[in-house]
Amino acid sequence: KQEVTQIPAALSVPEGENLVLNCSFTDSAIYNLQWFRQDPGKGLTSLLLIQSSQREQTSGRLNASLDKSSGRSTLYIAASQPGDSATYLCAVFANYGQNFVFGPGTRLSVLP
Amino acid sequence: DTAVSQTPKYLVTQMGNDKSIKCEQNLGHDTMYWYKQDSKKFLKIMFSYNNKELIINETVPNRFSPKSPDKAHLNLHINSLELGDSAVYFCASSQGPSGAEETQYFGPGTRLLVL
């Protein structure tokens, strides 16, 4: 059974810092991994989708990497801003199932 | 225009009642999903429909019954509500039949509180 964990559970940084969020999954047989952002009281917004054949994806100040063999992904946020404050969720789409398995999220606070 | 919309946004009701949550997507997607986010913030899939046909039905009590009148709508009906049903329910959609290669687009969520 696929399990997804995220470290740290919460993170507070001053504005301008570069930061890394970590995601681990137990079964490397995945189609893809996706990073989402969830703002308080709102739905999820997809940030980056990495297919199993890819190593990384970039969008603006965000860079996500995938090491399928070790069951790890990282989300790198450059030059963090207060507007980046949110909960970041990673989710893996397993080969054997037909659905995403989500991690518990990392709650990020960027202080002005 | 909202891509994936849900109604109501908030729902407070008594134990034992029957309630429905509606979801609509205007993206022209073929697949729609229902997720439950519990108090610990874990997000778990409940159902998936592709072109009005059920694809995924995770271990969910049969008090929960999804209904898809057309591929733009996936409603969730809950019978005999229990305290443990209190959660945030998210609807989502994707273009492909399984979401394996597609980004999923989420609605804003429906916050259900059962008293």
| Chain B interface with A: residues with Cβ < 8 Å | 4, 33, 40-45, 48, 55-56, 58, 90, 92, 98-101, 103-109
**Ranges of chain B whose pLDDT falls below 50:** none
| A102 lies within 8 A of chain B by CB | yes
How much is the pLDDT for B84? 93
**pLDDT score at B47:** 86
What residues contact A86, with CB distance under 8 A and at least 6 apart?
A37, A38, A39, A40, A107, A108
Look at B41 and A32 and tell me if their CB atoms are within 8 Å: no
Mean pLDDT, chain A, rounded, equals 92
Residue pair A2/A25 in contact by the 8 Å Cβ criterion: yes
Q: What is the pLDDT of residues A3-47, one digit of tens each?
A: 899 999 999 999 999 999 999 999 888 888 999 999 987 788 989
Query: 3-class DSSP state for residue A3?
Result: coil
Closest CA to B53 of A3, A81, A98, A68: A98
Interface test with A, best of B104, B110, B112 (most A CBs within 10 A): B104
The shortest CB-CB distance from B103 to any of A46, A97, A99 is to: A46
What distance in Å separates the CA atoms of residue A21 and residue A8, rounded to the nearest whole number?
A: 7
Per-residue pLDDT at B99:
56
